[in-house]
Structure 1
């Protein structure tokens, strides 16, 4: 059975470019953007690692720790990081897991035999501070991730957690949100004194302010 949204993210201990980590201890109190890439010294992966590093301040502002993974060694990771920093005009400051025996990749089902028997596909796990898996995405080896979408879904998850709302299609930070149908009209009036728009009894929009 694969990992599902709501499952506790499996723990592991492993060597990374920042030393050995116990995943649960390292992640304690933070959100985690845990992502795999097929191999070091490859073009698409280089741009993705660079983009993650470039967005360091935006991840930190959201209390998110990035954690990369591939089935290469720490030595290979460290050599490649020099290339990433040079070609992407950035500085990689987050750890990259060295999963040479594919232990973690198999634990998180990052290896898809139809793509490769040994290299991880581009998996994404967004994990909350309670170490629950909140979102999963999987990209093929030939297609890089959309980092605007990764930040958007983190914003959406944090907004829904904080305000007890849901986010409509194409929602972006600052946009109107949806009051869940499980919230009665009486409860909605108390919970959302700023008011709301009722389109249908089950479709009510309101605004929230996180400033």
Structure 2
């Protein structure tokens, strides 16, 4: 069998934006958890490579720092690595002891790599065993709305992740796209016209900020 055939057989079908989030039932630092427990809420499912490592420690603290604001947006956090529950507990206790930050969200102990495999969190060309820094934004209907991957060497930008959740929820609630670098309070994009007549009418609309018929913005 050729190397290409072997790779094809072992390839995992990765979830994509718009897919139903793969279901799971797992053990965490706060007891058993299933994806269905979060139905009706938005969820940030994120993986880190390993407990008691420096970059991951800064990230766990960073996620905790944005957690109160996420909860105001009906959004929960759920961490994951392939370490054991006991390792996770020892680590979060150590973080609180050394930094004064209490990690309030659960962390999955995925020693079987079941969830990591379902979600494509292990990239063999980077590491055969550790999960990379993946982030899955799952909405209140348990659809995957965004996916971000970071390499092992690079910590995540938590402000951007919080901004992303806010932008996605604004798009869902208001049915409008958001432009580059959008933050709450900025103008949103008006969906482009679908016909020539609509394009001509758009140029006469004084209620929106028009750059051209295809690019217009408005305040919410």
| TM-score computed with the length of structure 2 as normaliser | 0.88
Considering only aligned residues, what root-mean-square deviation do their CA atoms show, in Å?
Answer: 1.9
For 1:100, what is the secondary structure of its paired residue? coil
Distance 1:127 1:140, change over 3 A: same
- Partner SS, residue 136 of structure 2: strand
* 1:99 is the counterpart of 2:89: no
Question: How is 1:1-211 mapped onto 2 (pairs within 5 angstroms)?
Answer: 1-24=13-36, 26-182=37-193, 184=198, 195-208=207-220
Q: What stretches of structure 1 move > 2 A for 4+ residues in a row?
A: 86-89, 182-188
What's the CA shift for 1:7? 0.3
Residues 34-79 of structure 1 deviation map (CA, whole Å, 9 limit, x = unaligned): 0000000101111111111122211111111000000001000000
Deviation at 1:87, TM superposition (A): 3.2
Change (3 A) 1:15 1:86: same
Listed as ranges, the gaps of 5+ residues in structure 2 are: 1-12
Distance in 1 of aligned mates of 2:20 and 2:108: 19
Secondary structure in 1 aligned to 2:189? strand
Secondary structure at 1:55 match in 2? helix
Greater C-alpha radius of gyration: 2
List gaps (5 residues or longer) in structure 1: none
SS at match of 2:165: helix
**Secondary structure of the residue that 1:143 maps to in structure 2?**
coil
TM-score normalised by the chain length of structure 1: 0.91
Q: Whole-Å Cα distance in 1 between the matches of residues 201 and 140 of structure 2?
A: 28
Secondary structure of 2:181's match?
coil
CA distance change for structure 1 residues 59 and 186 in 2, over 3 Å: closer, same or farther? farther
Could you tell me how far 1:185 is from its partner in structure 2? 6.3
Structure 1 position 186, deviation (Å): 9.8
Aligned length: 204
Using the alignment, how far apart are the partners of 1:66 and 1:168 within structure 2? 26
Deviations 1:8-45 (A, max 9, x none): 00001111111111212x21110001000000010111
